[in-house]
Amino acid sequence: MSPRAALPALLLLLLLQPLEARPFFLLFGSESCDDCRAFRQTWEAQATPQDPLLVYLSIDKEENYLFLRQLEEALSPHNPASSFPLLLAGTHFVEGVERFQEECQEAWFAEPIPAMLAPLLPAIEAAGELPLLSWNAPAAPAASTPEEAHFRQPPRLLYLASPGCAKCARQEQELKRLQERLPSLRITQVLFSDANGLAYMERVRKHFSLPDDDENLTPLVAWGSGYLHGRTATAEELWELLQQETLPPWWEQSVQDEERENALQQADTLLNRLTWTMILNAGLADGINPCAFATIIFLVSYLLYLKRRRSFVLAVGACFCLGVFLSYLLYGISLGFLVHLLSKIPLAKILLYGLFGLLGLLLFVLHLRDTLRFRKNRRVSDMDMGLGVQTHRKIHDKIHRWAKLPQHLAIPAAILLGCLISTMELACTGQVYLPTIAAIMDHGFQPRAFRMLLAYNVAFILPLLGVTLAAYLGTGAETLANWAKRHLLATKVAMTLLFLAMAAYFLTMAILAIP
């Protein structure tokens, strides 16, 4: 049940019996918590003055987190939450918005208010009819620093976290509390989102003989002789463990390039499940598609029509291909960073994979229709999945204008022409390129991902270079055009199958990404 769908039912439940004072409930969350932000925005937009007041406390602030810990100790929940959002109604703690909406009862709001919430009451009264109140707990007295002489050696910890990790915000607060009590503590904090994070996780697996599978162990706190993951390691718990520690920190050596490469190869990620053959085949299929192929054939044929020397045609074709390569590589890098940024958000990652999967299905159907139409009547004009007539005319117009330049300017200008025309064709050729980028950049902009991106773009321009070389060797434009038409059906079949495979691949990844 979504937060928005469940909200009216919750409000109806709370309004069944009027209370003497306006009811309220607490939301403990972090600024990095997407569910916390979404629930606050929904409540603020839809709540009425008769609805309960939502009191938000950010656990990113130390006083609020300490207040939460004190409330938990006083109310003694059976299973203290390890992640956020965490909601408190009456004396009942519930982890997660959806679970709170399913379990919340009117009787909770009729219970006596815990004495620890007394400092909040004036702020609630002053809130009036506001639906949302952001509140900070009174600052707690500074804790005395224990003697560090009790430790047999300088304390060290390894902390692994993940982007978008719901449990990491609370674990980080516990580590901050521990650091305040133990100033000499040195924490090696690693984000499990790049090659370094993979290498450190591999060290943990080897040191503690953990299964080499795809389980995400973050947040994970490790010390010389042990580790904790899957729940919040409290400051008090870690304090006791560090006092008994006798082994040195085994993780502090700098990560070497070879170690990064090994970790990337062993990590069970989408990036490593991609093969070079898949990348090269996708690039070739994209480069032979009618959009990209027709333009280079028209360029070569126009130069031959103007009776330019074959050496000039070769130089222009090479520069044109270089422009296409550079512009596509830059597009790939830019879109790769954007896709990776979105994929750090758990929900966005599922939606992104699902979107690419559905897009793959749609393109599969459309290219299949084009394939069947062309197989029936052999007319290119009956195919819809390509550039429109107006775009083709604009491309031809650009080539005509460029051809009027002096020869000494035409060759370097061909690089800019390649950049410009490739941008105009992106709507067609990007049908393969964008999903491939999403797959390549799944685990960040790493050396292996960049090499795959280079390989894709090299494969993409190989057919263009082949046409240019054929023209240099004396093959006429009409021969090239006829060759392209003879192989158009095979190209469309390859594109159809490629999109079907992409759809199955990304839909599978979307399902696997669901927690």
Classified as helix, coil or strand, 161 is strand
CA distance 514 to 388: 39
Give the C-alpha distances (Å, rounded to integers) separating 458 from 346, 412, 455, 461: 33, 20, 5, 5
- Beta bridge pairs of residue 94: 87
Residues 145-177 have pLDDT tens digits of 555 556 667 788 999 887 767 678 788 888 888
CB-neighbour burial class of residue 45 (10 A; exposed 0-12, middle 13-18, buried 19+): exposed
Phi and psi angles of residue 94, each rounded to the nearest 5 degrees, phi first: -135, 130
Which residues contact residue 477 at a Cβ distance below 8 angstroms, ignoring those fewer than 6 apart? 297, 300, 301, 304, 305, 471
**What's the pTM value of the predicted model, to 2 decimals?**
0.47
User: If we measure between CA atoms, which residue out of 463, 474, 465, 466 comes closest to residue 310?
Assistant: 474
The whole-number pLDDT of residue 56 equals: 93
The two three-digit tokens of residue 100, written as one number: 């709170």
Residues (pLDDT < 50) of the chain are 1-19, 268, 270-271, 387-388
47 contact partners, CB below 8 Å, separation of at least 6: 11, 54, 131, 132
Supply the pLDDT for residue 476. Answer: 54
**pLDDT tens digit sequence for 331-365:** 888 877 777 777 666 677 678 778 878 877 887 78
For 89, the token pair is 């109604």
Q: What count of other Cβ atoms lies within 10 Å of the Cβ of residue 153?
A: 12
Cβ contacts of residue 389 below 8 Å, gap of 6+?
none
Residue 369: phi and psi, rounded to 5, are: -65, -45
The DSSP line for 416-434 is HHHHHHHHHTHHHHHHHHH
Query: What does the pLDDT read at residue 10?
Result: 41
**Phi, psi for 89 (deg, rounded to 5):** -125, 120
Q: What is the pLDDT of residue 134?
A: 92
Between CA 85 and CA 57 the distance in angstroms is 10
Neighbour order of strands in the sheet with 92-95: 92-95, 86-89, 24-29, 53-58, 132-134
CA separation for the pair 415, 197 (Å, rounded): 39
Q: How far is CA 148 from CA 145, 224, 341, 493, in A?
A: 8, 18, 41, 71
Question: Which two three-digit tokens encode residue 282?
Answer: 């996708």
Residue 136 has a pLDDT of 92
**Is residue 56 within 8 Å of 29, Cβ to Cβ?**
yes
d(CA 486, CA 369): 18
Report CA torsion sign: 127, 129, 130, 134: positive
CA 295-459-399 angle, to 5 degrees, is 20
pLDDT of residue 15: 38
Cβ atoms of 132 and 197 closer than 8 Å: no
